[in-house]
Amino acid sequence: MKPGDVVFDVEVPGSSRETIALFSAATEDPNPIHVDDAFAHRCGFPQVIQQGPMTTAQFARLLVGVFGSTRLRNLDVSFSAPVFPLEPLQLIATVADVASPDVLRIDLVARKTDGTVTARGTAEVTPS
């Protein structure tokens, strides 16, 4: 792989409210913004929002699918916009550079169908 190569560009389905609540419970995330509409309204959102780490988990799943479970060395994702229940995301991973023969750096972007970027990040994988 070389800089500019697309590793994946896929749409993943949105998560249901139930899945978001289960993720909150599994990760022991006490923030009611993920499960309580009234609280989300008070915070300025029309409904509950998905946890950012759910997007990170999708990136991890896709990267492991391409490179294998032992080759993902680092994954760092920052979140910039809320994701609401059932909102699909386009997840894109592009080779940024070949840091060494042993490390590929990959840029990650998550977008809503309207083009809003919800997350950006980087990953490092061993190419083989």
- What mean pLDDT, rounded, does the chain reach? 95
- Geometric angle at alpha carbon 116, from 111 and 118, rounded to 5°: 55
Which tokens belong to 98? 């070949």
pLDDT at 72: 94
Stretch 52-70: mean pLDDT, rounded? 95
Q: What pLDDT sits at residue 22?
A: 95
CB neighbour list of residue 76: distance below 8 Å, 6 or more residues apart: 121, 122, 123
What tens digit of pLDDT does each residue of 79-100 get? 999 999 999 999 999 999 987 8
pLDDT at res. 30: 86
**Domains in the chain: ranges and CATH:** 6-15+50-125 (3.10.129.10)
pLDDT at 101 over 90: no
Measured CA to CA, the distance from residue 105 to residue 35 in angstroms comes to 35
Q: State mean pLDDT over 34-63.
A: 96
Contact 48, 29 (CB under 8 A): no
Residues 96/108, Cβ–Cβ less than 8 Å: no
**pLDDT by residue (tens digit) across 13-45?**
999 999 999 999 999 988 999 999 999 999 999
Which pLDDT score is estimated for 88? 98
Dihedral sign for Cα 16, 21, 27, 31, please: positive
